[in-house]
Amino acid sequence: MDPIDQQAAARPGSAAWALVITSVAGFMAALDNLVVTTALPSIRQDLGGALSDLEWTVSAYTLTFAVLLMFGAALGDRFGRRRLFLGGLALFTAASAAAALAPGIDALIAARAVQGIGAAVMMPLTLTLLTAAVPAERRGMAYGIWGAVNGLAIASGPLIGGGLTEHISWHWIFWLNVPIGVLLLPLARLRLRESYAPGARLDARGTALISLGLFGIVYALVSETGHGWTSARVLAGLIGGSVLVAAFVRHGMVADKPMLPMRMFKNRGFAAINAATLLMFIGMFGSIFLLSQFLQNVVGYGPTEAGLRMLPWTGMPMLVAPVAGYLSDRVGGRPVVTAGLALQAVGLAWFALVISPDVSYAAQLPALIVSGTGMALFVAPATNMLMSTVHGPEQGIASGTNNALREVGGALGIAALGSIFAARGGYGSAALFTDGLRPALWVGAAILAAAVGAALLFPKGVRGAGPVAGVVATGAGTGSGTERKVSVGAER
């Protein structure tokens, strides 16, 4: 019996506790991606700040979360997964309290960045700890529940944020995490089993290169709204960030055991689905960031109403995901994912065509439904497609890479579409806001159309049955282990 299965069988009563603890922790981390969006107008009213400050309120979390995700998993492998999970949860909880107490916008942004660090350590270890606690024959159901809870967090984020902001105050979108975190800490300490990955190594150099590089690029995009493309800080951020990202790519090609082996991108399927994922989240996150503010600043809805009216988009995956899984099994993931991305592009273009200061919700509703259906058709089949491109032991690296690209895409999307919005419009009036939103939505639609092209590069006939031919490494998730060839003949 596998050592993980032996651990799970030895403590059958721990499985339910592990599912509850990891699902709730994952819910908190996922919720904080979008929970702030409907609170942004209230935060701006209370704390002040320009568009760039609002962008950083969201991006400070998603960026630190993204770039430290794989490093957090590696820390857990080496120093103890339960120990690091507890540390990440404690940091996330403390940072949530600091965000709730923030006296100004700069303090709020700093607290959000620390929240992201805590989530990056905590989130990837939830699945590892859950796997160690649940017997092999019950893991499918456990993963399904865990995934459904995380999906619920994404869907309900704008609604929860809007409801708390309107009926109590925006501070409570952060206070909400504190009692939950305080309750989970002793439960996790008592009910979760400690585990390690033998021979785990940390890639500190790779982490530093990609963290600083992505920060430089996002900093430049956000700063452009107030300083222009030719300013020293914007040029320094773009050039310096690009150089560091290029150095990270080089490091992944030549280092012994990098956090992300660049040889994985030689696999056409792996490269295609990750490119599609990055582009999809750039277009989606940037659009939701602006549209949630449009519903309040221009149309005049309260935070709760705005959150409810976003549900046809953010909540559609809860309804359509089972259909997407069925279609993926019948016809393969590529046509389903391609259709999903195309629908999202159509949805954003629809928004751009109908958007105006006096647009009715009835006119917006078809675009919301089309965009939400497209997102639902993308998420689950894309994950299955990703896992079909790698051998089992390397799925940890593949999953971590894809999750990191989702978060990076969110940060880049908010920065890029926010920059377009600021160049053509602003907060001065309803007409000015709409003038900036319309070209941003067209660019978002174009980015999603490019994602369709990336998805079409995925090899035909791959349905998740096995890995695409290539070199893979055992001991994935840490970069450790020996390499061996796997040839399945799936790539065409």
- DSSP, residue by residue, 387-439: HTTS-GGGHHHHHHHHHHHHHHHHHHHHHHHHHHHHHH--SS-HHHHHHHHHH
Its CATH class, for the domain covering 258-492, is mainly alpha
The pLDDT of residue 338 is 92
168-177, 390-399, 470-479: which has the minimum mean pLDDT? Answer: 470-479
pLDDT digits (tens, 9 = 90+) for 357-386: 888 888 989 998 998 888 888 877 887 787
Q: 180 or 141: whose pLDDT is higher?
A: 180
Measured CA to CA, the distance from residue 119 to residue 122 in angstroms comes to 5
Mean pLDDT computed over 383-408: 74
Distant-in-sequence, close-in-space partners of 104: CB < 8 Å, separation ≥ 6: 47, 48
Residue 98: pLDDT band with limits 50, 70, 90: very high
Q: Residue type for 480, please?
A: S
Mean pLDDT, rounded, of the chain: 80
The pLDDT of residue 246 is 94
Does the pLDDT at position 83 exceed 70? yes
Closest to 112 (Cα-Cα) out of 411, 420, 332, 451: 411
DSSP 255-315: SSS-SS-GGGGGSHHHHHHHHHHHHHHHHHHHHHHHHHHHHHHTS---HHHHHHHHHHHHT
Measured CA to CA, the distance from residue 38 to residue 292 in angstroms comes to 6
1-191 is classed CATH 1.20.1250.20: yes
Does the pLDDT at position 492 exceed 60? no
DSSP 14-68: HHHHHHHHHHHHHHHHHHHHHTTGGGHHHHHHHH---HHHHHHHHHHHHHHHHHH
Does the pLDDT at position 17 exceed 90? no
Q: Residue type for 122, please?
A: M
pTM comes to 0.75
214-218, 256-260, 316-320, 389-393: which has the minimum mean pLDDT? Answer: 389-393
63-72, 302-311, 466-475: which has the minimum mean pLDDT? Answer: 466-475
Task: Report the half-sphere exposure of 333 (CA within 13 A, side-chain side).
Answer: 26
Q: What b/e sequence results for 169-182 when a residue is b if at least 16 CB atoms lie within 10 Å of its CB, and e otherwise?
A: ebbbbbbbbbebbe
Measured CA to CA, the distance from residue 204 to residue 201 in angstroms comes to 9
Measured CA to CA, the distance from residue 116 to residue 122 in angstroms comes to 10
Closest to 277 (Cα-Cα) out of 392, 386, 370: 386
Does the pLDDT at position 422 exceed 90? no
Measured CA to CA, the distance from residue 169 to residue 185 in angstroms comes to 26
Measured CA to CA, the distance from residue 231 to residue 253 in angstroms comes to 33
Closest to 206 (Cα-Cα) out of 85, 46, 67: 67
Measured CA to CA, the distance from residue 305 to residue 283 in angstroms comes to 24
**φ and ψ at 198, to 5 degrees?**
-60, 135
Q: Residue type for 488, please?
A: V
Does the pLDDT at position 21 exceed 80? yes
The pLDDT of residue 393 is 58
The pLDDT of residue 211 is 82
Considering 73-82, 206-215, 431-440, 457-466, the range whose residues carry the highest mean pLDDT is 431-440
